[in-house]
Structure 1
Amino acid sequence: MQVRAIAKDIGISPRKMRLVTNAVKGLRVNEALAILQYLPNAGATPVRKVVASAAANAENNYSLNPDDLYILNIVADDSFRIKRVKPRSHGRAARILRRFCHVTVIVSDDPADAGR
């Protein structure tokens, strides 16, 4: 059975977040949480919370064993952008884009789900 959890509007760019999500894609949930705990990237903490939330959803809502779960898919999608203007010399202006992202985690206990 597939169970998911979503974290929305995380204040880290999707490109930086994908470095973290690609490191734990396809791993067991216990291994992924151990790796994310010591990963130095700033995106490791929000991803760790989402993976733990997906495992808790599977355990509490569907009575699945958390030791049997693995990460079927994990995606960092683009969210909104805050647009600002930074003054530059000679009356010019430079645009600043502050990017945000959504993280979606799908965990499963059935190896047959990998083909879907």
Structure 2
Amino acid sequence: MKARRVVDLVRGKRVEDALAILKFAPQAASEPVAKVVASAAANAENNLGLNPSTLVISTAYVDEGATMKRFQPRAQGRAFRIRKRTSHITIEVESIPAAGGAATRNRRKGGAK
């Protein structure tokens, strides 16, 4: 999964805009990234009481996860190693107040995978 390319598309954008971008992105990694963005927004709304229309993706990055190693049988008794790679997706959202408001920062972390 090339999740870093997808996360680069939504970094710094409003949550509503990011979900719209991810909905129509052709990459396979856009679905799990959209789930993490939606989860981070829901956590900010339910746990911190933030307005979902003011949420902006402040920090977004992808780290390497566990690698599952498998073998594929080949000709003449050989075996090739297959690496099934995973990744940890982290999304942080913060609330941007309306124009002219005080500059306060509220952060909420999203989950991994």
TM-score norm. by structure 1 comes to 0.77
RCO (CA 8 Å, sep 6+): is it higher in 1 or 2? 1
Equivalent-residue separation in structure 2 for 1:74 and 1:112 (angstroms): 20
1:37: which partner in 2? 23
The CA distance in 2 between the partners of 1:99 and 1:75, in whole Å, is 16
- The Cα shift of 1:43 comes to 0.9
Which residue among 79, 85, 89 is the counterpart of 2:65?
79
Q: Structure 2: how far apart are the matches of 1:112 and 1:95?
A: 51
How large is the Cα RMSD of the aligned pairs?
A: 1.7
**Residue 92 of structure 1 corresponds to which residue in structure 2?**
78
Q: Does 1:18 align with 2:19?
A: no
Q: Structure 1, residues 59-103: CA drift from partner, whole Å, max 9, x if none?
A: 111111111110011111111111112233343332110001111
Q: Partners in 1 of 2:5 and 2:73 — Cα distance?
A: 32
Count how many residue pairs are aligned between Structure 1 and Structure 2. 99
Q: Structure 1: 5+ residue runs without aligned partners?
A: 1-12
Greater helix proportion: 1
Superposition pairs for residues 53-68 of structure 1, below 5 Å? 53-68=39-54
**Which deviates the most, 33-42 or 90-99?**
90-99
Gaps of 5+ in 2: 97-102, 106-113
- Measure how far apart 1:107 and its partner are: 0.3
In structure 2, what is the equivalent of residue 3 of structure 1?
Answer: none
Q: Which one has the largest radius of gyration? A: 2
